[in-house]
């Protein structure tokens, strides 16, 4: 093993197995000197592997078993909207999804489902993105998001525009919901990230586009708050999104963000790619709905480089 690879592996092992350990049932971390501290509000990581960054980040939040209990059903919701290869930055990184499915089953999950209501033809999106093979290699189940009968109309208390959407049954019925978007530019919404990823759990996206898109995106989070948001900022399309084209710019930021606070996650993501908050109104709209905070300076943020 090369020295560089050895050091990277050692750093990951230290984070996931030695420095941070889960205390039974408590949202508390213990370090080597036995001091206790609250779990961070947001974990920001940089490294060469999205999968290894996930392991390090989830350890700092108490480990996968802090989120997934034995015999629970889990939904992992990536962005798989486009018939594009992983290198394009249009969809969530398949290696990240593979590792998440694996860890969920290791925690005792009964079933792990992955789906998206895609923009391009779903069969091609699932295949070309690499996510279908990644999920199935670890025993997860890919589910089509293109069947209207799988969506149920619900009332969303507190919503200002999207008050009675049809939401996918998996989101409504699962025990654990992981929201795993890719960070990228979007021509209409300005930015795709944690909240924008909710457009893939509702049936009628045209309604959202025609009834104040920025407010509808914020409203959609009221359907079901994720247990954790995992932001794929490994390959980031900073222009020419969301599908990508010959003029798109894709930057290798090699980053990952994890947070229970969806507003904080999107705020940090916007800063990462240089988008002012006022240019992404759904973030402040969600803060007004008390879905999280844009005030990162008041949060406990852990930054890790692997």
* Tens digits of residue pLDDT in 261-288: 999 999 999 999 999 999 999 999 999 9
Q: How far apart are CA 68 and CA 297, in angstroms?
A: 30
| Nearest residue to 198 via CA among 180, 186, 211 | 180
CATH of 40-305, one of 3.40.50, 2.60.40, 3.30.1340, 3.30.2420: 3.40.50
Confidence of residue 189 (pLDDT cuts 50, 70, 90): confident
Q: What pLDDT is recorded for position 223?
A: 98
Q: What pLDDT is recorded for position 197?
A: 97
Q: What pLDDT is recorded for position 187?
A: 86
What is the chain's Cα-based Rg? 18
Q: What is the pTM of this model?
A: 0.89
Reply yes or no: is the peptide bond before residue 242 cis, omega within 30 of 0.
yes
| Nearest residue to 44 via CA among 272, 306, 302 | 302
How confident is the model over 93-111, as pLDDT tens digits?
999 999 999 999 999 999 9
How confident is the model over 10-20, as pLDDT tens digits?
444 444 444 33
* Residues facing 218 on adjacent strands: none
Provide the residue ranges of all domains of the chain, joining segments of one domain with +.
40-305
The segment with the largest mean pLDDT, out of 3-7, 68-72, 183-187, is 68-72
- Asked if residue 24 has pLDDT above 60, the reply is no
Confidence of residue 188 (pLDDT cuts 50, 70, 90): confident
- Asked if residue 36 has pLDDT above 80, the reply is no
Q: What distances in angstroms separate CA 150 from CA 163, 169, 173, 238, one per listed residue?
A: 19, 6, 11, 33
């Amino acid at each position: 093993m090369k020295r560089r690879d050895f050091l990277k592996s050692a750093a990951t092992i230290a984070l996931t197995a030695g420095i941070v350990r889960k205390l039974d049932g408590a949202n508390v971390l213990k370090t080597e000197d036995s001091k206790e501290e609250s779990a961070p509000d947001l974990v920001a990581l940089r490294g060469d592997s999205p999968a290894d960054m996930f392991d390090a980040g989830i350890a700092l939040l108490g480990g996968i078993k802090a989120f997934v209990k034995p015999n629970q059903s889990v939904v992992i919701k990536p962005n798989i909207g486009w018939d594009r290869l992983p290198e394009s930055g249009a969809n969530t990184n398949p290696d990240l999804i593979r590792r998440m499915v694996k860890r969920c089953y290791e925690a005792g999950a009964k079933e792990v489902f992955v789906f998206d209501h895609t923009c391009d033809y779903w069969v091609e999106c699932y295949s070309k993105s690499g996510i279908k093979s990644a999920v199935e290699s670890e025993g997860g189940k890919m589910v089509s998001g293109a069947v209207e009968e799988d969506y149920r109309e619900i009332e969303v208390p507190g919503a200002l525009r999207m008050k009675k959407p049809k939401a996918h049954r998996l989101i409504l019925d699962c025990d654990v919901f992981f929201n795993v978007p890719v960070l990228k530019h979007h021509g209409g919404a300005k930015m795709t990230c944690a909240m924008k990823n909710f457009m893939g759990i509702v049936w009628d996206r045209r309604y959202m586009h025609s009834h104040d898109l920025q407010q509808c995106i914020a409203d959609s989070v009221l359907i079901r708050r994720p247990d954790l948001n995992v932001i794929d900022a490994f390959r980031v399309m900073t222009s020419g999104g969301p599908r990508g084209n010959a003029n798109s710019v894709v930057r290798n930021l090699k980053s990952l963000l994890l947070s229970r606070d969806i507003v904080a996650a999107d705020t940090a993501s916007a800063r990462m790619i240089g988008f002012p908050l006022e240019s992404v109104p759904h973030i402040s709209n969600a803060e007004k709905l008390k879905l999280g905070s844009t005030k990162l300076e008041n949060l406990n943020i852990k930054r890790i480089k692997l």
